[in-house]
Structure 1
Amino acid sequence: MRLENILFSHSLSQPEKTALICGENRLNWGDLGNRVRSVARGLAARGIGSGDKVILYMSNQIEFAEAFFGVLATGAVVVPATTRISPHELAYFQADSGAGLIICDANLAEKVAAEVSVGAEIYTVGETISDFADFSCLRQSGTTPLPPIPLEQDEAAILYTSGTTGQPKGVVLTHANILVCHGYMNAVEWGINGDDIYLVVSPMAHRAGMGRMINALMLGGTLNILSRFDPDDVLSIIEREQVTVLGLVPTMCRMMMPVLEADPQRAASLRRLAVTGEAFPVPLKERLIALLPNLEIVSFFGMTEAGGVTGLMHREQFTHAGSVGRPCPGVEVRITDEDGRDVMDGEAGELLVRAGRPGAFTVMKGYLNNPEQTEAAFSDGWFRTGDMARRDADGYLYIVDRKKDMIVSGGLNIYSKEVEQTITELPGIADVAVIAVPDDVFGESVVAVIEPEKGAVAPDKNQIVEHCRQRIAGYKKPKYVLYRSELPRNATGKILKRDLLPWAVAEITATTDQAKVAS
């Protein structure tokens, strides 16, 4: 069962219903189906077919959905990339995936062309840029049938996620992976359907934003697309379009509270709020429900590789507030010790996930071009999440630590190793440790603790931040840069990051207090 065929079915059964809204632009289901087919014909005319890779380096807009499903309709595979990553990072995605065609925002085209060393056609969305073909060139009219797609071509998307080694890994997701999670499980568990009006505020190139797009378009609903998150814009769209389903990360909820508290009636149409990305604080839940008593909150724990793993329903938000919920129906979990043995309820261990054969339901097919890491990620068919968890007697799961060296800021995953490797490219740095400190708005903030080379002048904070901005996504750059003559290490020389945390918090607090006094 393929995603584009479900979209085509809705376009035939309800052609006049509005499918997509972005600002002043609206597209009904009949026109959406026609546009997707025309893009597929244009791609096929340029040699794109079964198993080929096409990169979408685009901000949220109607053309993203059009291109996403147009690529799938040729049998090719979408490689979505949020515009928050740098063109330098995108070049790795292109080289690793072998993508021969890139569709990107016009303002990014020249930088992409400068970074991409392996030949690839570049098409721009937005203003026309000389030396680059416009996305409209891919729309090809006609009724010529597309070549049939081989049954064995089940891959739909490759999402790149940074690994603990710092090298991005391409997560291969099948049509079934995406459809089962966002087209069926979410619908059943959350009670959403084709009558709902959805709003996506997260990047549609990210798994969370893609999930909301798939929710709406696989269920036959109406999807409102916000190009850039702004609290007042969110409430304006909810009020004007009577949005019923919204997905957010807690950071966005915090940012929306002032405008929501000023006039909660603007969001009275909301009936479902899906929250993911980090722990959802109880006080924030209480404030939301007090303002919107008809709103039901569902929070969930998921991963790019494993899809939705657990869910916490509205009635459980306060009875089990610290939990990530119980396993989604059909998802099996184990909690094991370092020897692979199941631990007792209440004990912590690594969380393992299984949902049938990899690629068949919710768990990824594997890592692209990386059989060694794919093999290491699975143990007898169980995906090793790298998260440390415990389970209570009622089956509720609690994430107690990260086995992987990862920071979650604003609902986005940041792997410390990637930031460390980027910083150590600079001269005058003997070593660096990247850790997370609590942040009232974003949940966690990135801190880089620098150990300068003996006798050398280490780069200052502005130089470090700017270098990171050029090499990796902006949200990964450190918010704080601290310096120590020596980083704490154990007997084998491994940096003791746990020992750095209280010191870093104290240093940041002292600096903040001094700034307040000075002002």
Structure 2
Amino acid sequence: MLPPTFQHLSIAGGVRAAMSRNPGKQALKHGKNKRSYKQLTDRMDRISNGLIHDLKLTPKDHAAIVSSNSIEYMEIILGASQVGIAMATINPKLSPIEIQLICNDVEAKVLFVDESSAELLRDVHFETITTVIAINNELEEWINQSKPISDLPVVQEWDVFTIPYTSGTTGKPKGVLVPYRSRILQLFGMAVEYGCYSPDDRFLAIAPMCHGAGMIFALAPIFFGGYAEIMDQFDPEEIVTALKKEHITGFFGVPTHFHGILSLENAILEKNKPASLETIISNAAALPQAIKEEIVKVFGDDVLHETYGSTEGGIISNLRPADQLRKLQCVGQPFPCTYIKVINESGDECNPNEVGEI
């Protein structure tokens, strides 16, 4: 039995708390598109209301989104989450047949699509989807017709937040039921471990939001009242220019990103070296030691973190800046509030220097 004063953890609630501290502060930017915290919460409330009262969805229903990165992507995720509608976040680079299979598997009732995906999926038949909303003027008209929701349902923190689909290296994609509690506790762990998620920090979000890491690293800045600059395409020169121009304090990337950035001419890297940058986070694949050394050479020896995790488990360990050049082929130490053990084929904990699985 929970006490009557108990409040469930909520990602949208964190954004709303940040808004209450500074409504006019800029929360997000994507190209020329901007949102203050007040605008962001107003729009996510209108989306919530539209889902419940216009589209007649109920908590525990599912929806889906096929789109590149955008502010609207964040607004849709937040608006759906605060009324208990889990969103399947689908990679827009998948084929129409693959997208159809995922939407049918998750039993989505509503599908949000960006313009390129809308064209791609125009002739696709879905088993359960009754409404498709394009993320363009159609979405804007739908939002404007809706009023901000006035009475939010109770969404329990162990309910499903999003449903990313992952296949690892083999097999068909499988939906991962990610609970709110898991991701929120991870957010607090990230704030402690990386040190770049205070209200004064400015984060560059370049990874696809359809993936678990791209989603959480884009949400973290606005959960804590900071600022996030969103990019929807990978352009190495545009990234390093933004690091300096936007006074970015942290960004997350994968090895491919860093390879592209470090392939730029030295003159471009030197010209755009950001004095504000405090944290670089790498994940998704092992970062080659040669690239680590180049990152340290260009950006300094006190910024690089290499994180290990999965869509299902979230972040479980992190190799900190001081260990990047000292510990080779290492996944670091356990993330805050995380216990790790390495076991052998019998399920017993391994001895030192014995090979096993985490």
Distance across 1 between alignment mates of 2:301 and 2:249 = 11
SS in 2 for 1:26: strand
User: Is residue 108–residue 128 contact of structure 2 (8 Å, CA) maintained in 1?
Assistant: no
Question: Residues 236, 164 of structure 1: CA spacing in aligned structure 2 closer, same or farther, 3 A cutoff?
Answer: closer
Equivalents in 2 of 1:218, 1:152: separation in Å? 15
Q: Which amino acid aligns with 1:342?
A: E
**1:329 is aligned with what amino acid?**
P
Percentage of matched positions with identical amino acids = 26
Structure 2 counterpart of 1:203, one-letter code: P
> CA–CA distance in 1 between the matches of 2:105 and 2:316?
28
- Corresponding residue number in structure 1 for 2:183: 178
Residue 87 of structure 1 and its aligned partner are, at CA, apart by 2.1
1:4 aligns with 2:12: yes
Give the superposition deviation at 1:143.
5.0
Structure-1 residue corresponding to 2:3: none
User: Is the CA contact 1:273–1:298 (under 8 Å) kept in the aligned structure 2?
Assistant: yes
Q: Which amino acid aligns with 2:354?
A: E
Quote the residue 1:99 is aligned against. Answer: 108
Offset at 1:158? 0.8
Shift of 1:93: 1.4
Query: Aligned in 2, Cα 1:203/1:43: closer, same or farther, shift over 3 Å?
Result: same
1:294 Cα offset (Å): 6.8
**C-alpha offsets along residues 123-159 of structure 1, whole Å, 9 cap, x if unaligned?**
0013x5xxxx545314444355134225376210111
The residue type equivalent to 1:201 in the other structure is I
Greater gyration radius = 1
2:218 maps to 1:213: yes
Residues 199, 246 of structure 1: 8 Å contact kept? yes
Structure 1 position 245, deviation (Å) = 0.5
Contact 2:342 2:357 in 1 (8 A): yes
**Alignment equivalent of 1:188, drawn from 185, 189, 192:** 192
2:65 is aligned with 1:60: no
Structure 2: distance between partners of 1:53 and 1:119: 10
Query: CA–CA distance in 1 between the matches of 2:105 and 2:140?
Result: 24
Task: Give 1:95 shift.
Answer: 0.9
Aligned to 1:89: 98
Partner of 1:322: 329
CA displacement, residues 100-143 of structure 1 (integer Å, 9 cap, x when unaligned): 000001222243243333141110013x5xxxx54531444435
Distance 1:315 1:295, change over 3 A: closer
Equivalent of 1:159 in 160, 164, 172: 164
- Is 1:339 the counterpart of 2:341? The answer is no
**Partners of 1:137 and 1:224 in 2: how far apart?**
25
1:137 aligns with 2:137: no
Mark the CA change 1:228 to 1:295 in structure 2 (over 3 Å): closer, same or farther. farther
**What does residue range 39-438 of structure 1 map to in structure 2 within 5 Å?**
39-45=47-53, 46-120=55-129, 121-126=131-136, 133-134=138-139, 136-151=141-156, 154-162=159-167, 166-181=171-186, 183-192=187-196, 193-259=198-264, 261-263=266-268, 264-268=270-274, 269-293=276-300, 296-351=303-358
Q: Which amino acid aligns with 2:182?
A: N
Mapped partners of 1:256, 1:241: distance in 2: 17
Alpha-carbon separation, structure 2, partners of 1:229 and 1:242? 19
Counterpart CA distance in 1 for 2:291 and 2:119 is: 43
Change in Cα spacing, 1:248 to 1:144, as seen in structure 2 (3 Å) is: closer
Decide whether aligned partners of structure 1 residues 295 and 21 sit closer, same or farther in structure 2, where only a CA change above 3 A counts.
farther
The residue type paired with residue 20 of structure 1 is: L
Question: Could you tell me whether the CA contact under 8 Å between 1:50 and 1:153 is conserved in 2?
Answer: no
Q: Distance in 1 between matches of 2:148 and 2:341?
A: 51
Aligned-pair CA distance for 1:301: 0.5
2:23 corresponds to 1:18:
no
Distance in structure 1 (CA, Å) of the matches to 2:30 and 2:188: 25
Deviations 1:300-335 (A, max 9, x none): 101001111111000011111210111113222222
Counterpart in the other structure of 1:506: none
Instruction: Show the 5 A alignment for 1:464-479.
Output: none
1 or 2 for the larger relative contact order (CA 8 Å, sep ≥6)? Answer: 2
Q: What SS does structure 1 have at the residue aligned with 2:209?
A: coil
Name the amino acid aligned to 2:13.
Answer: N
Q: Find the aligned partners of 2:226 and 2:332 in 1 and give their Cα distance.
A: 27
Describe the SS at the equivalent of 1:114.
coil
* Aligned-partner residue type, residue 133 of structure 2: Y
AA aligned to 1:156 is F
Gap change, CA 1:163 and 1:324, over 3 Å in 2: closer
Specify the code of the residue in structure 1 equivalent to 2:35: L
Contact 1:42 1:139 in 2 (8 A): no
More strand by share: 1
Paired letter, 2:134: T
Per-residue deviation at 1:292?
Answer: 2.2
Count of aligned pairs between the two proteins = 345
Q: Please give the alpha-carbon distance, in whole angstroms, between the structure 2 residues aligned to 1:212 and 1:150.
A: 23
Contact 1:297 1:313 in 2 (8 A): yes
Give the TM-score of the pair, scaled to structure 2: 0.91
CA separation of 1:138 and 1:87: change in aligned 2, threshold 3 A: farther
Match of 1:32 in 2: 40
Matched letter for residue 304 of structure 1:
T
Offset of residue 265 of structure 1: 4.0
Give the drift of 1:58. 0.9
Contact 1:273-1:295 within 8 A present in 2 as well? no
Distance, in Å, in 2 between the alignment partners of 1:99 and 1:337 is 40
Give the TM-score, by structure 1 length. Answer: 0.63
User: Are 1:231 and 1:259, in contact at CA under 8 Å, matched by a contact in 2?
Assistant: yes
Query: For the residues of structure 1 that align with 2:216 and 2:148, how far apart are their CA atoms?
Result: 31
> Quick one: distance in 2 between partners of 1:222 and 1:231?
21
Check conservation: 1:124, 1:135, Cα contact below 8 A: no
Give the AA of the match of 2:250: V
- Distance in 2 separating the partners of 1:304 and 1:295: 27
Instruction: Provide the rounded CA distance (Å) in 2 between the counterparts of 1:152 and 1:257.
Output: 41
- CA-CA distance at 1:219 after TM superposition: 1.3
